């Protein structure tokens, strides 16, 4: 397993200060008069309680809107703040201690069971027929604030909701290459062939300790409704086996297309199409209209013709091809785009113009040896902010998608396209931005004599247009200079241009590309029997989430409505591994439940 795939599972992470109202007091006594002085101040740790911002959710699995066959997978949600599931208590007044269960849980509903969410005010949470305990609002909350709720039949909730002890094993923290994250896992398998809705619900203060010492949820009387605050929800369906991650990634390369349009049958046009050009509308300065050839920075292979001559207007870069009677406007468009982008960045354009003035003043002063006054030197170094902006532009940051993919047919839906970067196009793009304040031929000659300190090394990359991009935010891309995958390539930029288009650039010539999910987002799954009424789970040696299985749990029956008996599964794991159940944490459970990372390789 590579270091990029290494992940650490922790049972829980408690916050330094839990959500709630606090008081802090300070006292002081001076020995001269002996009169003590003290002051008390109140403050609130206002953690999430009745709502959850979308930014707090990093990823869900199965992806929202997915149609893949996930009937053997336990849905999960990845939360950006690793302490979130343990910031509140499921017992009233914070009665839990030690390794307490999370206050968040995932409930899985089939479409015919799914309750309809409703928006109510906090003051009305306990109103109506549905059971909801009295709520004490915190200092920053008001009765008029809103929350989204679902009313669930008591008997259905008894079946779906894990027990107090089972909840402990259904949330954990994962640490990998990226920021740490908390995961909350459901305890029910989605039903095949139907739509499924998953709700992240709050269980704050909903459990209580009975007279005989058991900790139970307040379900109310049979036939009643129980109200739950829902903080997030998403929908998917288990209907198509081809919609799994590995199958969708594999299918990206099925057409084996290249980053160019198909041939037209006209030899003179095909000579341009084969090089990646596309026909584009061309508006001339005199008002005439025509069709010209355009090619952006992404080509069928890396290109670089060396340094370019600074110009003062884009017309100098138009190239006319008399054999077809058409202009090539690619480099002219790059220059004009660079100029427009820098002018839209006011601070960069201003900084560049002022630097030009300082450079000119410094040059004139050096040319005069008889200057009568002693004056300080003029700083004629290009400002770091300007240079950083131009370097980002050289990575194609800010370049609109239409300039990168000028024709949609270059990048069909559910495809991957490999390309090389035309560094001549990039050089003209940067020169257009650098041209601000270049007014005369002398200015252009001075720019040619004083080139920008930017390196233009060979760059290749890939464009992916697929539901994989939007459905799997944790998608990772690894590039290599050899087919064996021993020489990794650095990536100066990886960016989502649209929700379903991913751009990846690599320094060097790409030979192999691997796509896989981040280790933090790998899912839980079980092995179902043919009749899908029982299951088992292959087990790894303790502490290695990517090691091959060395043992297996005994076969366990699924609970009602395809619920997984988490307590029974934990017990079976402990028996098979020979460990003490009291020492088996949520992190240990996650190591056994997580699936091996799927990796699909493309040879460019």
In a domain, 248, yes or no: no
194 and 228 both lie in a single domain: yes
Give the closest residue to 566 by CA, choosing from 215, 163, 108.
163
**Residue after which a domain boundary falls, among 464, 499, 517:** 517
354 and 477 both lie in a single domain: yes
Strands 475-480 and 195-202: unpaired
pLDDT digits (tens, 9 = 90+) for 261-282: 999 999 999 999 999 999 999 8
Two structure tokens written together for 414 = 């559910």
In a domain, 250, yes or no: no
Q: Is residue 304 a contact partner of residue 458, using CB atoms and an 8 Å limit?
A: yes
Mean pLDDT across the stretch 106-121?
95
65 and 158 both lie in a single domain: yes
Q: Is residue 272 a contact partner of residue 407, using CB atoms and an 8 Å limit?
A: no
499 and 528 both lie in a single domain: no
Q: What are phi and psi of 77, to 5 degrees?
A: -130, 140
pLDDT digits (tens, 9 = 90+) for 219-237: 989 999 999 999 999 999 9
pLDDT digits (tens, 9 = 90+) for 339-357: 999 999 989 999 999 998 8
pTM value? Answer: 0.76
505 and 536 both lie in a single domain: no
Residue 64 to residues 60, 195, 250, 468, Cα–Cα distance (Å): 7, 11, 20, 11
In a domain, 191, yes or no: yes
Q: What are phi and psi of 596, to 5 degrees?
A: -65, 140
In a domain, 446, yes or no: yes
Residue 301 to residues 459, 506, 511, 571, 604, Cα–Cα distance (Å): 9, 13, 12, 57, 11
365 and 430 both lie in a single domain: yes
CB atoms within 10 A of CB 414: 15
458 and 548 both lie in a single domain: no
445 and 319 both lie in a single domain: yes
Reported in sequence order, the residue ranges of 125-277 that DSSP labels E, i.e. its strands, are 146-153, 171-175, 181-185, 195-202, 207-209, 215-217, 225-237
Number of separate domains in the chain? 3
Mean pLDDT across the stretch 175-189?
89
In a domain, 405, yes or no: yes
Q: Using CA of residue 571, residue 576, residue 579, residue 580, what is the dihedral sign?
A: positive
Checking if the pLDDT of 132 tops 70, the result is yes
In a domain, 1, yes or no: no
Checking if the pLDDT of 563 tops 50, the result is yes
Distance separating alpha carbons of residues 560 and 223, to the nearest angstrom: 18
Q: Look up the domain containing 386 and give its range.
A: 259-369+377-517
Strands 459-465 and 475-480: unpaired
**Residue after which a domain boundary falls, among 459, 486, 517:** 517
């Amino acid at each position: 397993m590579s270091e990029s795939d290494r992940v650490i599972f922790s049972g829980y992470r408690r916050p330094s200060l839990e959500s709630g109202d606090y008081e802090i007091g300070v006292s002081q006594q001076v020995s001269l008069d002996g009169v003590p002085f003290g002051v008390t101040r109140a403050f609130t740790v206002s953690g999430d309680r009745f709502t959850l911002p979308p930014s707090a959710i990093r990823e869900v699995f199965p992806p929202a809107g997915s149609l893949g066959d996930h009937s053997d997978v336990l849905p999960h949600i990845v939360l950006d703040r690793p302490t979130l599931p343990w910031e509140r208590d499921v017992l009233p007044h914070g009665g839990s201690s030690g390794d307490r269960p999370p206050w968040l849980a995932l409930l899985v509903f089939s479409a015919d069971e799914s309750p309809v969410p409703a928006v109510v005010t906090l003051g009305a949470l306990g109103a109506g027929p549905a059971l909801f305990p009295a709520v004490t609002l915190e200092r920053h909350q008001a009765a008029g604030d809103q929350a989204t709720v679902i009313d669930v039949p008591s008997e259905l909730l008894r079946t779906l909701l894990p027990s107090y002890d089972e909840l402990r094993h259904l949330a954990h923290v994962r640490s990998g290459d990226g920021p740490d994250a908390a995961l909350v896992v459901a305890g029910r398998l989605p039903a095949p062939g139907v739509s499924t809705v998953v709700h992240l619900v709050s269980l704050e203060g909903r459990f209580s300790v009975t007279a005989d010492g058991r900790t139970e949820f307040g379900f109310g009387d049979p036939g009643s409704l129980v109200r739950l605050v829902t903080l997030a929800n998403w929908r998917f369906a288990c209907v198509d086996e081809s919609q799994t991650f590995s199958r969708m990634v594999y299918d990206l390369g099925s057409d084996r297309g290249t980053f160019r349009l198909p041939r037209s049958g006209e030899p003179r046009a095909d000579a341009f199409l084969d090089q990646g050009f596309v026909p584009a509308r061309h508006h001339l300065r005199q008002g005439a209209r025509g069709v010209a050839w355009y090619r952006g920075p992404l080509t069928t292979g890396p290109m670089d013709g060396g340094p370019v001559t600074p110009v003062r207007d884009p017309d100098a870069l138009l190239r006319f091809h008399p054999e077809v009677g058409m202009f090539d406007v690619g480099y002219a468009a790059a220059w004009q785009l660079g100029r427009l982008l820098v002018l839209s960045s006011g601070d960069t354009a201003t900084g560049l113009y002022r630097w030009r003035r300082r450079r000119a003043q410094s040059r004139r002063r050096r040319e005069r040896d008889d200057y009568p006054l002693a004056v300080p030197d003029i700083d004629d170094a290009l400002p770091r902010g300007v240079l950083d902006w131009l370097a980002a532009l050289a990575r194609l940051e800010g370049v609109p998608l239409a300039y990168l993919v000028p024709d949609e047919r270059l990048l069909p839906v559910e495809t991957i396209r490999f390309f090389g970067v035309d560094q001549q196009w990039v050089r003209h793009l940067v020169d257009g931005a650098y041209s601000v304040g270049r007014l005369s031929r002398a200015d252009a000659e001075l720019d040619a004599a004083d080139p920008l300190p930017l390196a233009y090394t060979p760059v290749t990359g890939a464009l992916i247009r697929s539901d994989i991009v939007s459905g799997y935010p944790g998608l990772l891309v690894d590039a290599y200079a050899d087919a064996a995958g021993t020489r990794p390539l650095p990536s100066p930029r990886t960016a989502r241009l649209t929700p379903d288009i991913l751009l990846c650039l690599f320094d060097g010539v790409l030979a192999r590309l691997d796509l896989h999910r981040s280790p933090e987002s790998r899912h839980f799954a079980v092995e179902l029997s043919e009749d899908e009424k029982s299951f088992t789970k292959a087990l790894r040696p303790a502490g290695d989430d990517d090691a091959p299985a060395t043992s297996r749990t005994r076969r366990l029956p699924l609970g009602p409505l395809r619920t997984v008996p988490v307590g029974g599964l934990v017990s079976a794991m402990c028996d098979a591994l020979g460990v003490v159940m009291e020492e088996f944490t949520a992190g240990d459970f996650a190591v056994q439940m997580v699936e091996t990372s799927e990796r699909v390789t493309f040879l460019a």
